[in-house]
A = this chain, B = another copy of it.
C-alpha cells in the first residue's frame, strides 16, 4: 500500500493516447493519459467510462453534440455511446474504468493500445 502522486506519475511518460495504469481496485483500473490531437470514434459495449480532466481542455464529440471539459471537470460516457475525444493542446486525463475495458472498443486503429502499461 503506497501513496500515488498524480503529478509524479504524469512526469514518467510523454506519449499521447497511451493510458498507463496507476492503480487497480475492485477489478477497476485507475489510468492516466496525456492526449493531443484527435482520437478515433469508438464505443465500449459493456463498460461505462469516466474522464476526469487534470490539466487542459478536452472536447468529447458525440453523434449529436460536443462536450467541453476543463480542469476539475468529469464526464461519464455510458456504455455503447459512440464518442471521439479531441484535444487541441496537450491534456492530462484520469480514467476510471473496468480492467476489462478495451482502449478503442471493438475498433482497431493505429492508436489502439492492446496492453496497458503499469507505472
Contacts and interface: CB of A to CB of B under 8 A. Distances in A.
Contacts of A47: 26
Contact of A3 (B24, B74, B78): B74
Contacts of A76: 1, 4, 23-25, 30
A26 B25 contact: no
Interface in A1-32: 1-7, 23-26, 28, 30
Interface residues of A, number: 31
B67 A1 contact: yes
A97 B6 CA distance: 19
A105 interface: no
Interface of A: 1-7, 23-26, 28, 30, 47-50, 62, 67, 69, 72-78, 81, 96-98
Given A6-B72, A6-B73, A28-B96, 7 more contacts: A3-B69, A3-B73, A4-B74, A7-B72, A25-B49, A25-B78, A26-B97
